[in-house]
Amino acid sequence: MPKIRKTGTKEVGFVTQSQDYLLFLEGLPTAKLNDIIVDSKGHRALITALEEEKIEAWMLDNFHPKPGETFTISPQGLRLSLQYNLFGRVINPLGVPLDGKAGLPPDGQEIDLDMIAPGIDTRELITEQFYTGLIAVDTLLPIGKGQRELIYGEPRSGKTPFLLDIIIHQKEQKRICIYNAIGRSEVDVKQFSENLTKYGGNSYTIIVAATSSDSAPLIAIAPAVACSIADHYRNLGKDVLLIFDDLASHSKYMREIALLAGRIPGRESYPADIFYQHSHLVERAGNFNEKLGKGSITLLPVIETDIENFTSLIPTNVMSMTDGHLLFSALLRAQGQYPAIEVDRSVTRVGRQTQKFIHKVLSDRIRSLLADFHELQRFSRFGTELTGQTQLIIKRGKITDELIRQEALTYIPPQAQIMLLSLVFSGFFDEKDITWVKKFKETVIKELDAQSFKEIKDAIEKDTLEDLIEKLKSKHKILEDKCQPLETSKTS
């Protein structure tokens, strides 16, 4: 018989077996999945499985109970002080500060670790573009507000600088950003936090970190806690950017727990419910109506994997749950390209419908130009034998490739992006070489965003692409004059 001792209405469970952070208990007949249980010293554990004769639980605190010790169901559950100002803070999934600052109040909002994703009656069509300030994304691979876009690629392919860039660029959009570090090193988390502070992104960003030095259960619940924080601000009508960095690490810790618990392994030894574990997190993102405060959660889950593992279980699982993916290449990063996105192998399934009409038409022309350029590029060494039209395509393709490259932490407004890429088709760069473009690209962008182009900027949404190209032709001399003094001073 299970050993149950009642004191009033309090039920007690006894530890029968303990393996590292994994507990098995007898008792607690009214316990439910995801209940929090505590021992006499306040150490917490999460109930994860109910069997006829025993209960399985994960220790959340750094403590290893011995057989015979007792646990009771916590009436408080797992709580976070969401009403407290968490912006600029680095906390673990239990709300413990990792930034050396003051602790948080013990009371707060209860966190549901198995929240069901909102239904279709609470959702709205995604119609607003989520601007990143990066040409490669905003023009060629747009993201919509409320979209779920997978970020995946090899190690050292520039994913983290890209995420930092996006967060920093949300300041003007007044979006709340939640960065969930899953199994990252303490050094990586500290560096990310310091960079956010350095560039002013900490005032609207919360970092929820379960580092590689934490226990597997703490890492396992980290995405659910980050989702609950995002849900809180969404319900207040806020637009939220949520980043999981990364779900590949999360999967490995889930596999470790499942194997330790003796569960039957599935493909690649992952637990059979790994698809559910990730999909019920991903589905909580979206664009919502007044039933949920008219807020939104834009989700960027990250998966870091070697190139030979792109078709393995976790990347393909998450790819099937999301609305597109951006593929990052370590080779492009080594060649100095930023962001190091392989445009031809990346997809956005929702973002295109959010682009302004002229931006969408321009995007089609740029993608077509780049496709023709990459096809013809291998023949470029026979330059004298190519037709004039073919040479023009190759030249414009090279110029476009260079224009898409950006320095990290540089924001290019949407109107300036449209005008800059339209200059390719107006013939402005036809007599320029790559060296000239590299030298004066920033000058051109700055001028496009200046007062002299205000009339064109204000009419962009009403104009056709051909109208815009004609207007830009009349401004070629202004751009030439802006670059000429610089060119003269640099050569003198």
| 434 falls within a domain | yes
Q: Cα–Cα distance between 477 and 484 in angstroms, integer?
A: 10
Bridge partner list, 80: 109
Q: Cα–Cα distance between 220 and 224 in angstroms, integer?
A: 8
Confidence label for 381 from pLDDT (cuts 50, 70 and 90)? low
Residue that is last in its domain, among 76, 110, 130: 76
**34 has pLDDT over 60:** yes
Q: Same domain, yes or no, for 71 and 203?
A: no
pLDDT score of 355: 94
Q: Same domain, yes or no, for 313 and 444?
A: no
Q: Same domain, yes or no, for 161 and 297?
A: yes
Per-residue pLDDT tens over the stretch 428-477: 999 899 999 999 999 999 999 888 888 888 888 888 999 999 999 988 99
**385 has pLDDT over 80:** no
CATH of the domain at 169: 3.40.50.300
Q: Same domain, yes or no, for 264 and 382?
A: no
| 5 falls within a domain | no
| 343 falls within a domain | yes
Calculate the alpha carbon distances from 433 to 398, 430, 441 in Å.
9, 8, 12
Buried/exposed 336-364: b ≥16 CB within 10 Å, e otherwise? ebbbbbebeebebebbbebbeebbebbbe
Confidence label for 377 from pLDDT (cuts 50, 70 and 90)? confident
pLDDT score of 449: 86
Q: Same domain, yes or no, for 453 and 401?
A: yes
Average pLDDT, the chain: 90
Residue that is last in its domain, among 76, 96, 115: 76
Q: Same domain, yes or no, for 329 and 473?
A: no
Radius of gyration of the chain (CA): 27
**214 has pLDDT over 90:** yes
Q: Cα–Cα distance between 72 and 75 in angstroms, integer?
A: 9
| 1 falls within a domain | no
The two three-digit tokens of residue 113, written as one number: 């670790």
pLDDT score of 460: 87
Confidence label for 9 from pLDDT (cuts 50, 70 and 90)? low
Q: Same domain, yes or no, for 274 and 133?
A: yes
Q: Same domain, yes or no, for 94 and 41?
A: no
Domain count, the chain: 3
| 463 falls within a domain | yes
| 260 falls within a domain | yes
pLDDT score of 76: 84
| 469 falls within a domain | yes
Contacts of 14 (CB under 8 A, 6+ apart): 3, 25, 26, 27, 67, 68, 69, 70
Q: Cα–Cα distance between 220 and 102 in angstroms, integer?
A: 25
Q: How many CB atoms lie within 10 A of CB 260?
A: 14
pLDDT score of 1: 41
Residue with tokens 């560096």: 191
Q: Same domain, yes or no, for 168 and 246?
A: yes
pLDDT score of 4: 46
Please list the alpha-helical segments (H only) found in 427-492.
434-448, 454-458, 465-473, 476-491
Q: What mean pLDDT is predicted for residues 263-286?
A: 94
Q: Cα–Cα distance between 33 and 246 in angstroms, integer?
A: 25
Q: Same domain, yes or no, for 301 and 403?
A: no
Identify the helix (H) or strand (E) that includes residue 279: helix 274-282
Per-residue pLDDT tens over the stretch 289-302: 999 999 999 999 99
Q: Which of 218, 211, 172 is nearest to 193 (CA)?
A: 211
Q: Cα–Cα distance between 58 and 64 in angstroms, integer?
A: 10
Per-residue pLDDT tens over the stretch 100-128: 888 888 778 888 888 999 999 999 999 99
The two three-digit tokens of residue 197, written as one number: 């502070």
**382 has pLDDT over 80:** no
pLDDT score of 120: 94
CATH of the domain at 468: 1.20.150.20
CATH of the domain at 18: 2.40.30.20
Q: Same domain, yes or no, for 200 and 185?
A: yes
Q: Are 422 and 463 in contact (CB under 8 A)?
A: no
Q: Which amino acid is at 233?
A: Y
Q: What mean pLDDT is predicted for residues 128-133?
A: 95
Confidence label for 488 from pLDDT (cuts 50, 70 and 90)? low
Q: What percent of the chain has pLDDT over 70?
A: 95
Q: Same domain, yes or no, for 245 and 370?
A: no
Residue that is last in its domain, among 76, 95, 115: 76
Per-residue pLDDT tens over the stretch 76-90: 888 888 888 899 999
Domain of residue 54 covers 13-76
Q: Which of 32-46, 247-261, 365-379, 382-396 has the lowest mean pLDDT?
A: 382-396
| 2 falls within a domain | no
Residue bearing the bigger pLDDT, 372 or 7: 372
Q: Are 248 and 255 in contact (CB under 8 A)?
A: no
Q: Which of 39, 10, 36 is nearest to 110 (CA)?
A: 36
